[in-house]
Structure 1
Amino acid sequence: MAHRGTNGSKIFITVLCIVAACSAVPINDLLDRASQRSDTLHSLSTTLTQDLNNHVPPIGWMMMPRPSLCHTSSLQTPNDKEQTLQLSESDLLSLARSLLQAWQDPLVDLSTSANSLLHPSQTSISNKIRELQEHSKNLGDGLDILSGRMGPAAQAISSLPYRGGNDIGGDKISQLTNFHFLLSCFRRDSHKIDSFLKVLRCRAAKVQPEMC
């Protein structure tokens, strides 16, 4: 019992040290790191989507759900850059965090399904999905720290229920189609997250809005 208590104390102290270190980092630097991470996330999701495009059969494209059926579509987000620039810093961060959190479970489904995906680059896709999960978690941790620095409004998160299961299809064509659809939804949302964070970074650096 004493040994466990000692380990627990060490972990607690380590967490405190990390929090203290992050508290000393200027918000500009935190936003730079978050923006770089979100850029990587979007680039990786774009590459993955392109990898799949040529391997979805014609019937798969006919079965593909509309983008409006993405589970995050209920979240009210800006339609263009002009609308994005009108939002407050807290609102932008809240939207980014809401979208990112909404993808925790779907990314698990993508990772599970990637292991049996009917695709010539199945192993590479599976590895990239795991990278997406890692980058998403790291970005989420960074945004949690940022929200703590920016106040209660930035800490608000909208709940976006995901009603998927442990896998995303029965037959191979359905699985590939649903996998592509879910990944396309993530690509769309990762672009939104990246855009929101780049605007935040520009504002923190006092760059003119039209340059963001």
Structure 2
Amino acid sequence: MANRRCNDRKTFIMVLYMVAVCSGVPISDLLDRASQYSDKLHSLSTTLTHELDSHFPAMGRGIMPPPSACHTSSLQTPSNKEQALQVSESDLLSLARSLHQAWVDPLVVLSSSANTLPHPSQSKIINKIHELQEHSKNLGDGLTILTGKMDPTTLTISSLPYRGGNDIGQDKNSKLIRFHFLMSCLRRDSHKIDSLLKVLRCRAAKLQPHLC
């Protein structure tokens, strides 16, 4: 049954891909939809991070890994809007897709770990993680279609494998700290994806830089 659902989804994505590529759906419309999903991803990850802050171990801040330890830190991205406006459209899309693909496996880890997370809002967190996964899948489909509308031969997707494993810790504190760290990394990267897509949308609309 699971394989059938997977095959059905792949068929559905392929149909969407062909419709978007072969029809006159403007890139600006596709970018609007992708931006809506990326905005929702960032909003949900921010909400979850704040939720985790409400029940964070006192010693957690001192031992939580720094942002540089996120598995996506090696990817060089524009640090501000001015830099992003100097990057080509294909490179902006490549960066957004690289970051998005880097979170496919970690989202599965977050989803499975949420079931045993020692947090008073566990059920709420579980539901929001599932929302994150759904929006991430929709965003991935949208980015695939966008790639087909633009020039796929110019896109280079960077491999950013997650090597953190499926186990976020055995004791209560380590679970909370590791889960919080992963969510903090996702919050940072979802903001990057959202910013890259908004600049790409601005560039596609040929707006003046000061309006972006």
TM-score calculated relative to the size of structure 1: 0.90
- Pairwise CA RMSD of aligned residues? 1.9
Contact kept in structure 2, 1:147 and 1:154, CA below 8 Å: no
Q: CA deviation at 1:78?
A: 1.0
Runs of at least 5 residues in structure 1 that lack an aligned partner in the other structure? 1-7
**After alignment, is 15-24 or 43-52 more displaced?**
15-24
Look up the equivalent residue of 1:63 and give its one-letter code: I
Greater RCO structure (CA 8 Å; 6+ sep):
2
TM-score calculated relative to the size of structure 2: 0.90
Q: CA deviation at 1:13?
A: 7.8
Tell me: CA distance 1:182–1:207, structure 2 relative to 1, closer, same or farther (3 Å).
Answer: same
Q: Which residue of 1 aligns with 2:210?
A: 210
Distance, in Å, in 2 between the alignment partners of 1:138 and 1:91 is 21
Aligned pairs, how many?
204
1:8-27 aligned at under 5 Å gives the runs 17-23=15-21, 24=23, 25-27=25-27
Look up the equivalent residue of 1:20 and give its one-letter code: M
Q: Give secondary structure in 1 for the equivalent of 2:196.
A: helix
Q: Which residue of 1 aligns with 2:58?
A: 58
**After alignment, is 47-56 or 13-22 more displaced?**
13-22
Distance, in Å, in 1 between the alignment partners of 2:152 and 2:16 is 21
State yes or no: 1:94 paired with 2:98.
Answer: no
Distance, in Å, in 1 between the alignment partners of 2:141 and 2:44 is 19
Distance, in Å, in 2 between the alignment partners of 1:12 and 1:75 is 28
Distance, in Å, in 2 between the alignment partners of 1:41 and 1:199 is 17
Runs of at least 5 residues in structure 2 that lack an aligned partner in the other structure? 1-6
1:136-147 aligned at under 5 Å gives the runs 136-147=136-147
Q: CA deviation at 1:167?
A: 2.3
Q: Give secondary structure in 2 for the equivalent of 1:158.
A: coil
**After alignment, is 54-63 or 132-141 more displaced?**
54-63
Contact kept in structure 2, 1:118 and 1:172, CA below 8 Å: yes
Q: Which residue of 2 aligns with 1:3?
A: none
Q: Which residue of 2 aligns with 1:197?
A: 197
Q: CA deviation at 1:141?
A: 1.0
Q: Which runs of 4+ in 1 moved over 4 A?
A: 10-17
Q: Give secondary structure in 2 for the equivalent of 1:156.
A: coil
Q: CA deviation at 1:17?
A: 4.2
Q: Which residue of 1 aligns with 2:44?
A: 44
CA deviations 1:156-187 (Å, max 9, x no partner) are: 20001211212211111000001000000000
Distance, in Å, in 2 between the alignment partners of 1:12 and 1:49 is 32
* Aligned sequence identity (%): 69
Distance, in Å, in 2 between the alignment partners of 1:16 and 1:48 is 32
Distance, in Å, in 2 between the alignment partners of 1:80 and 1:15 is 33
CA deviations 1:105-130 (Å, max 9, x no partner) are: 00111001100111111001011011
